[in-house]
Chain A
């Protein structure tokens, strides 16, 4: 369908159906989910806007190629059960993806109505169906293939690991997940906050694969408790989905002052250790009045909005480029802004200054301007000489990125890594340089997205299955 045709069709509705949200003044004080989801009426209203294109572009923007117009058509008919089945053919974590996928750069950006700023709210519809199914209370367990007698070990229980495990168990293999932390879910559990992705949803997904028969062993650090080589003695294949959990720091003076956190520490204290319930939970958290978050991605937004909810009265994002380059999802930076987060753009911290007790007191920053585009295609930030200034603060959260944890690669001979520390793996199959070892998700791509991790898990599962059956 061409653009001119859209102009001429009078009935086209370009009005995206808003999803109800908690008002900013209220939600900045609680950890409940911000977005409340569509009602049935709203979902049908939004679904009806879809043009049911013959050659749907939206689908090409989806990393796992969900049959988007098909599931939308089911919503129009009110057949939600068929709709969710359609999604689950391609995506085993719809309640998660409907909430955290960057649809605005994926399916929705490709929607033919996007050029008129009226793209279908595909993510909200996906979320609606997943939540509708959960509310029904009963889950149809799909049929499993006959047991093959093959055993697969999955290292890490993030979206990549969950997907591999879910796919392989249905194909009849015996699957065991080994997770280092005490709660499964990876970043979905320890990183993304409750108000954006309720932990009950993650727990439900994990429960689901357990019901299918996946054995989930927590508190088990592969590379320490047992090595990959030892796992290979017991299992026919090993999948590594250990994510990108090693926090970067900036290498500037004062980073070890008290009150300077990595985003991982800050979010882990709050999410995994339930610090927001302190002192009911026993992992201590500090009450800070002024919090500065360094970085501009989803992680930075999550940390900033968590700080607000912990009672900070002044929370700022410090980012070295401009608003336009913020890597966070638009929805998240808008949410943060609505909630009152201050944005200090084109600003770079160069030194943290402490008090006599070793606590952070202020940040020395320098102003930046944008120069020529760099290798990433974004305009390179350049320091403006003599523009230094001070921002007083009680805490800093450093959210400038993560790299893969070297624990597994460094304890597994023959497992090649790139110079970024990621594992070398075939993008189509997930095969690593070690026989019988596959990998996928952030450990291969570097910090990326939930859906890419899932997609990689899916491909690896297919390749592992072929290997196991061909044997």
Chain B
């Protein structure tokens, strides 16, 4: 049982939740996640930690409302309790000096990449931030990234800010830079991570993704989060969640990610191809 101190929608469909979790706040590192169970009947949902404060013993998470469980979580109120908040789980991002780091983020990933960018900046890296969203009003925490980033680019589907289009415009941004980034880190939906990895593979830029598969226990017990990386079976919860994006079997990952789509209360019909859903901001995986 952990108390909710703050819970609000920060942009449409995207919620910020601040939870009392003193033990976790002392231990969590950039790139790690927790498992939250909204209530006694609730599912266990893995969520990346976007911010924390050791002094007040709190952690902050940004989550998107995508189905039954996340909408139950969103329906709670400050001073309510979540039934479970356990972690920090998974391995932390390797924080060291790389040179120029490009952080590519979309939807909940804007939140989860923030501590990564902050820590990397602390190691003297030059940070270039790229936000990808359906429209400019879906971008949040811009202020937090302004101080950190050498440059901030945006790609929006409707062209309301920055480049018009979606992740496939990334090469335009990269080629406009005076020099290729030394590493790219991507947080966000599967489509964004897969597409970015495809693009950067051709450009030969090392790319780290933070996978978000279905999980139950989050400690390696159930094996539902298994992914194929470089031809080997890995458990995202204990071997990841970060992997080399060029080595992930994305087709398999996407199929596994969607395994329970029918059973989840679906807000959107999902018969269309992933690229179309993504352009409409309905990808949800």
Residues of A with Cβ closer than 8 Å to B?
180-182, 190, 218-221, 224-226, 245-247, 249, 251, 255-259, 261-262, 264-265, 268-269, 272-274, 278-286, 357-359, 405-407
Residues in B whose Cβ lies below 8 Å from that of A224: 27, 87-89, 219
Partner of A407, one of B27, B86, B220, B263: B220
Q: Which of B24, B37, B217, B223 has the most CB of A within 10 A?
A: B223
Q: Does B256 contact A (CB under 8 A)?
A: yes
Given contacts A256-B233, A282-B43, contact A268 B217 (CB under 8 A): yes
Say yes or no: B27 contacts A226, CB within 8 Å. Answer: yes
Say yes or no: B255 contacts A258, CB within 8 Å. Answer: yes
Given contacts A256-B256, A358-B251, contact A264 B222 (CB under 8 A): yes
Say yes or no: B255 contacts A180, CB within 8 Å. Answer: no
Minimum C-beta distance from A261 to chain B (A): 8
Given contacts A256-B227, A282-B41, contact A262 B222 (CB under 8 A): yes
Say yes or no: A220 contacts B216, CB within 8 Å. Answer: no
Residues in A whose Cβ lies below 8 Å from that of B263: 278-279, 284-286
Number of interface residues of B (CB under 8 A): 40
Q: Does B221 contact A (CB under 8 A)?
A: yes
Minimum C-beta distance from B190 to chain A (A): 13
Say yes or no: B221 contacts A405, CB within 8 Å. Answer: yes
Residues in B whose Cβ lies below 8 Å from that of A181: 217
Q: Which of B84, B86, B222 has the most CB of A within 10 A?
A: B222
Say yes or no: A268 contacts B216, CB within 8 Å. Answer: yes
B contact patch SS: mixed
Say yes or no: A245 contacts B220, CB within 8 Å. Answer: yes
Residues in A whose Cβ lies below 8 Å from that of B255: 257-258, 357-359
* B:78-117 near A, CB below 8 Å: 83-89
Say yes or no: B223 contacts A249, CB within 8 Å. Answer: yes
Say yes or no: B41 contacts A280, CB within 8 Å. Answer: yes
Residues of B with Cβ closer than 8 Å to A?
23-24, 27, 37, 41-44, 68-69, 72, 83-89, 216-217, 219-224, 226-228, 233, 238, 249, 251-252, 255-256, 259-260, 263-264
Residues in B whose Cβ lies below 8 Å from that of A220: 23, 86
Say yes or no: B84 contacts A219, CB within 8 Å. Answer: yes
New contact pairs (6) apart from A256-B249, A264-B222, A282-B72, CB-CB < 8 Å: A190-B221, A224-B87, A258-B256, A264-B223, A284-B263, A405-B220
Say yes or no: B86 contacts A219, CB within 8 Å. Answer: yes
Given contacts A220-B23, A256-B226, A264-B221, contact A225 B252 (CB under 8 A): no
Residues in B whose Cβ lies below 8 Å from that of A221: 86-87, 89, 219
Q: Which residue of B lies closest to A248 (CB)?
A: B223
Say yes or no: A265 contacts B216, CB within 8 Å. Answer: yes
Given contacts A221-B86, A256-B228, A283-B43, contact A247 B223 (CB under 8 A): yes
Minimum C-beta distance from B243 to chain A (A): 14
* Distance between Cα atoms of A218 and B226 in the complex (Å): 25
Minimum C-beta distance from B251 to chain A (A): 7
Say yes or no: A182 contacts B37, CB within 8 Å. Answer: yes
Residues in A whose Cβ lies below 8 Å from that of B264: 284
* Distance between Cα atoms of A221 and B33 in the complex (Å): 13
A to B CB contacts below 8 Å, 21 in the list: A180-B86, A219-B84, A220-B23, A220-B86, A224-B219, A225-B24, A226-B23, A245-B221, A246-B221, A256-B226, A256-B252, A274-B41, A281-B41, A282-B43, A283-B43, A283-B44, A284-B263, A358-B251, A358-B255, A405-B221, A407-B238
Residues in A whose Cβ lies below 8 Å from that of B260: 284, 286
Residues in A whose Cβ lies below 8 Å from that of B86: 180, 182, 219-221, 225
Given contacts A256-B228, A284-B263, contact A247 B221 (CB under 8 A): yes
Q: Which residue of B lies closest to A277 (CB)?
A: B41
